[in-house]
Structure 1
Amino acid sequence: MAIAGLALGLYLVFQPQNPAIEHGSAAAGMLFFARGIFATVAARRIMTILAQKTFLFELRDRRRVAELAKANQRLELLARTDPLTGLANRRRMTETLSRIWGSDKRCLDGAAMLMCDIDHFKKLNDHLGHAEGDRCLVEVARIILENVRRDHDHVAPTAAKSSSCFCPG
């Protein structure tokens, strides 16, 4: 802006003093030069505004992508977790079994599966109600989880009344 103003000022000072140019031509030249300076300054300002808007849009898009990734992670967790016990659900159990008995090299030494059945669970549900049955399932899941010792062991409910513990290797 300052350079444009200085250039226009110099042009306005020296152009009318040029004896080789008529005053009408000098005035027309000054107007033409002034319009060019104005257009250059305006274009530069517009480019700056567009660059700032582009930057803000990119920031917004990055934030939206991060929010979407976070939402997808939550959905993935919900899709693989039993809502009552917080254990991995049957889908996760099936994926884990496929991985363990499929291409996982840790399975070369073998794998073990423990299935637990809660005796008389239906009677407990019928006699004390489903809320008490749910508390029983949560407590059984907690006890099993407390006793899983290795990071690659998995616990998942396989039905409404049982849990499975997968212990690869």
Structure 2
Amino acid sequence: MLNWVKRLWSPGVAGNPARLRRKIELCNQVGLFGAIATIPYQLFYFFYDFALYRGVFLFNLLFMAAYLSVLLLNHRGWHKAARNVLLVNVCSQLFIVTSFIGSGAGVHLFYFTFASIVVFVFQCLSALRYAFIMVTLGVLYLSAHFLFAPGSVPAPVPSPWIDVMYAGSVAGVLALLGVFLYLFRKQIDEAEDELTRTNQYLETLSNTDPLTGLANRRVLDETLEQEWARLARWPGALSVIMCDVDHFKLFNDRYGHDGGDRCLQQITAALQGVLSRPADLLVRYGGEEFAVVLPGTDEAGSRYIGEKLRQAVERLNIPNEKSVTAACVTISVGVSGIDHFSPDANRHGVDHLLKRADQALYQAKASGRNQVVFLPYLGASVRAGQQ
């Protein structure tokens, strides 16, 4: 039902930024509800004594047309004109109608409804302009209240209808405020949902490699810090694997960058197929390098996983005519791990674990590629590099 009603105030909304869309919607809502709220008064004027209330009845027809023109102006994209027409129309209608039937009918109470939402109707409303509008609304209300007593107007509403109309005006003011506040709440909820989705998308974008869909180095650093902190609290093991595609530059030269991208995507799928635990993290470290974090995995387990990764890529049988060591694409694998947390580990930190895996990778490449080399977390230093 609400979706059907929302279509009534949708003119001019599509194609605009979210902030402006909400203001256009509110402007249309005020215009639509302003026309609707006038109808009960028009029915009274028409059926009770049309000859007496002819003037106010005809004026209200003009005001209702002006309210509906707000939707037309927004539909044409004239949003500033729509807001100005709405402001002038509300201020004029309440003052002129009160001048016909008297302040006892309570029509001028609708100034409070408009004053409570006017700041949301205008975009980039300055404090000075907002204060001017509020003062104007206050002056119009006080003028209508004190100048147009029932005995000094051309078409006063007789008793007991004056009390009925006043009660109706109060009910109308409260009802419109309730409706607008409900719609504000809906808009706020929608804006918060949109913001949450945007933040989630941006977070995913900042943490994801666009080519492979894997986590990126930022996620690797965060995960290693978390796992290192966990290791410091509870005894356990932690291993890291570094993989590098052998002769990938030669592959790119032969098959082009598109071929290289497809190759990396196929390797990604093969590596993912080896890792079965949710806690294991596969990361595109950069270029043709991949990294794997294996929480709770000791030396034997990490060696086993490293060999499985190497075999998985080799089984792809991706031709690499330029390779000098194999006829197909292969990877070299460096593995490092720590089985228990010690004072030395606390001194070197988690970066040393990644460095040792990188040193192991260098040894694997220097020893002929397409093999797995393991280096423990603590041991003799090896010059790190890439070939």
Q: TM-score, normalised by structure 1?
A: 0.77
1:160 corresponding residue in structure 2: 287
Aligned-partner residue type, residue 123 of structure 1: L
Distance 2:266 2:228 in 1: 29
Give the counterpart of 1:111 among 233, 238, 242.
238
CA contact (8 A) 1:157 1:163 kept: yes
Distance 1:107 1:125 in 2: 45
Aligned-partner residue type, residue 235 of structure 2: L
Gaps of 5+ in 1: 2-27
Aligned-partner residue type, residue 36 of structure 1: D
Distance 2:232 2:168 in 1: 67
1:144 equivalent to 2:271? Answer: yes
Q: Which of the pair has the greater relative contact order for Cα pairs under 8 Å at 6+ separation?
A: 1
1:15 corresponding residue in structure 2: none
CA contact (8 A) 1:112 1:168 kept: yes
Distance 2:232 2:209 in 1: 28
CA contact (8 A) 1:125 1:133 kept: yes
Q: Measured at CA, do residues 106 and 145 of structure 1 come closer, stay the same or move farther in structure 2, by a change above 3 Å? A: farther
1:45 equivalent to 2:172? Answer: yes
Distance 2:269 2:233 in 1: 26
Give identity over the alignment, percent.
32
Q: Measured at CA, do residues 64 and 104 of structure 1 come closer, stay the same or move farther in structure 2, by a change above 3 Å? A: farther
Partner SS, residue 85 of structure 1: coil
Aligned-partner residue type, residue 175 of structure 2: T
Give RMSD over aligned pairs.
Answer: 2.1
Partner SS, residue 124 of structure 1: helix
Counterparts in 2 of 1:96-107, with a 5 A limit?
Answer: 96-103=223-230
Partner SS, residue 74 of structure 1: helix
Distance 1:153 1:49 in 2: 56
Counterparts in 2 of 1:1-169, with a 5 A limit?
Answer: 31=158, 34-103=161-230, 108-169=235-296
Deviations along 1:87-119, one digit per CA (max 9) or x if unpaired, are 001111111111111246786311111111100
Quote the offset at 1:78 in angstroms.
0.7
Quote the offset at 1:50 in angstroms.
1.2
Deviations along 1:105-141, one digit per CA (max 9) or x if unpaired, are 7863111111111000000011111111111111111
CA contact (8 A) 2:252 2:260 kept: yes
Partner SS, residue 235 of structure 2: helix
Distance 1:55 1:105 in 2: 51
Q: TM-score, normalised by structure 2?
A: 0.35
CA contact (8 A) 2:241 2:293 kept: yes
Partner SS, residue 158 of structure 1: strand
CA contact (8 A) 1:80 1:91 kept: yes
| Number of equivalenced pairs | 142
Distance 2:164 2:170 in 1: 10
Deviations along 1:16-75, one digit per CA (max 9) or x if unpaired, are xxxxxxxxxxxx8x9465433322211111111110111011111101111110111111
Aligned-partner residue type, residue 78 of structure 1: L
CA contact (8 A) 1:112 1:166 kept: yes
CA contact (8 A) 1:100 1:107 kept: no
Gaps of 5+ in 2: 1-39, 41-150, 152-156, 297-387
Distance 2:219 2:245 in 1: 21
